[in-house]
Amino acid sequence: MPGEDPSPRARVVTLDGLSGSGKSTLARRLAAALGWTFVDSGAWYRALTFAVLEAEEDPRNADSVLSVLSQLDLAGQADGTVCLDGRALGAELRTARIDAAVSDVADHPSVRQALNQRLRSLRNSAQHPGLVADGRDAGSVIYPEASLKVFVDVSLEERARRRHQQALAIGQERAFADVLAGLRERDQRESERGAAAPRAHQGDRVLDNEKPSVEEAIRRLLDWVKSLGTQSP
């Protein structure tokens, strides 16, 4: 049929945004609603960091990180879970140690390039009709050909408020000012990553996620996906 994509590649929707914007929750829920695969690109960075620390390599050394990556069997499950050598990783990726080292790993342009190649290859797998990928540069760098690119926008104060609440909910006593300062520092560091810096690009749909409930935000996203029709890539 004219205009139809003849390749078996999956359709892609990307949700990018800063830490604490809620993009992972939305991407996971959207993928489930569509029956697509969720690609949590942050979890891939975390899994690589986990392997680097397990190998007792230096996350600040790009060559060491690349060498670890070249030997890794990394795979993603439909719910976004990342498997390392066949082992599903969950809470191991959310430790303070990983939090502290993952930015070092993600700062190396050569590492980003190599990891992006792995993430891109997920699109060629025939297992899923579509991917919903979240990250910082999922739409701008990893999947530039995505059918729909969304930037999830939330103020620094609201993101800090949510992170603080989440910490309290799991019994971690943290001062709000510390959470705010930590996010501000991370925003600054990520904003220095050139093309991979998290920001809304031309053509992105901007989802204001400051106030809406998850349900409202998902409804809006589903409307956007439906409005694409069946012909776009």
**Residue closer to ligand DC (CB basis): 41 or 147:** 41
Type and span of the H or E element at 84: strand 82-84
Q: Which pairing describes strands 148-153 and 37-40: parallel, antiparallel, or unpaired?
A: unpaired
Least separation, in Å, of the C-beta of 100 and ligand DC?
Answer: 10
**Residue closer to ligand DC (CB basis): 189 or 219:** 189
Q: Which stretch binds ligand DC (CB under 6 A): 27-35, 39-47, 59-67, 214-222?
A: 39-47
Q: Which residues contact 139 (CB under 8 A, 6 or more apart)?
A: 14, 16, 146, 149, 150, 151, 201, 204
Least separation, in Å, of the C-beta of 144 and ligand DC?
Answer: 13
Q: Which stretch binds ligand DC (CB under 6 A): 52-60, 72-80, 129-137, 219-227?
A: 129-137
Backbone φ/ψ region at 118: left (φ over 0), alpha (ψ -120 to 50), beta: alpha
Q: Quick one: how far is CA 148 from the chain centroid?
A: 15
Least separation, in Å, of the C-beta of 42 and ligand DC?
Answer: 2
**Residue closer to ligand DC (CB basis): 27 or 217:** 27
Among the listed residues 82, 89, 102, 217, the single contact to ligand DC using CB under 6 A: 102
Question: Shortest CA distance to 39 belongs to which of 72, 9, 76, 86?
Answer: 76
